[in-house]
Amino acid sequence: MNQLSIPASSSNTRGPAEHDIRDQIVAAANEHFSQYGYAKTTVSDLAKAIGFSKAYIYKFFDSKQAIGEAICANCLGQMVAAVEQAVNTEPVSATERLRRLVKTVIATGVDLFFNDRKLYDIAAFSASERWHSAQVYEAQIKDFIVDIVRQGREAGEFERKTPLDETVDAINLALRPFVNPLLLQHNLDFIEQVPTLTTNLILRSLMP
């Protein structure tokens, strides 16, 4: 009953209680996937491990993927929050913001998907099957890039001849091996030199 305790204050069917249970399922699934991997786990395994019935889990999530999506959305949300923190809290130059963006994306990506928790296979599914969470994440990273390039252009820090779209798309592509967890796995050997080498190349391409 511990994990299932429903707050007395709950009044409607989509109230906080339901969110709490969803969160409990996600947290437990997160633990379980970290240990046993996402691909190899079934909803039945998960139900057994959490101590819920399979039917009960299905009341909250349509499928294993839906649980994976929730975990992934959390992780990617943490990455975006870390980038937001690094890039938007102090008034700094566009150059410095771009450097921080790349460093933070790589550091939090490695940390979340490869060090702390073995969540890599969820991230890989998310990226390869283009889950909603992955698409949202990519769009958010792109928004940061747009914002940084705009700032740099307005401040005269970056060149303005190339169409904004082209500049942003090209930077996005250049950063893809480190932004996309599926590609990041093949680039772990390079993450020491990369923040500097790739960022410097991008910054040289932006010189007025």
CB 208 within 8 A of CB 149: no
Indicate the residue among 41 and 167 with the shorter CB distance to a copy of itself.
Answer: 167
Letters for 125-144 (x = contact with a copy of itself by CB under 8 A, - = none) are ---x----------------
Size of the site for a copy of itself (CB under 8 A): 29
* Contact between 204 and a copy of itself per CB under 8 A: yes
Residue 190 in the binding site for a copy of itself (CB under 8 A): yes
Asked whether position 154 contacts a copy of itself by CB under 8 A, the answer is no
What 8-state DSSP symbol labels residue 11? Answer: -
Q: Are 41 and 32 in contact (CB under 8 A)?
A: yes
65 neighbors 126 (Cβ within 8 angstroms):
no
Nearer to a copy of itself, 14 or 186 (CB): 186
Integer Cα distance of 63 and 48 in angstroms: 16
Q: Rule CB under 8 A: is residue 182 a binding residue for a copy of itself? A: yes
Residue 114 touches a copy of itself, criterion: CB under 8 A? no
Rg for the chain, CA atoms, rounded? 20
> Quick check: 170 binds a copy of itself (CB under 8 A)?
yes
Q: Which residue has the tokens 């500097």?
A: 196
- Tell me the CA distances in angstroms from 6 to 22, 66, 70, 175, 182, one per residue in order: 12, 22, 21, 44, 38
By the rule CB under 8 A, 198 interacts with a copy of itself:
yes
Q: Does 176 bind a copy of itself (CB under 8 A)?
A: yes
Which of the stretches 3-11, 91-99, 140-148, 191-199 binds a copy of itself when contact is defined by CB under 8 A?
191-199
DSSP string across 41-96: --HHHHHHHHT--HHHHHHH-SSHHHHHHHHHHHHHHHHHHHHHHHHHSS---HHH
Question: In the complex, which residues of this chain contact a copy of itself (CB under 8 A)?
Answer: 128, 159, 162, 166-167, 169-171, 173-174, 176-177, 180, 182-183, 186-187, 190, 193-194, 197-198, 200-202, 204-207
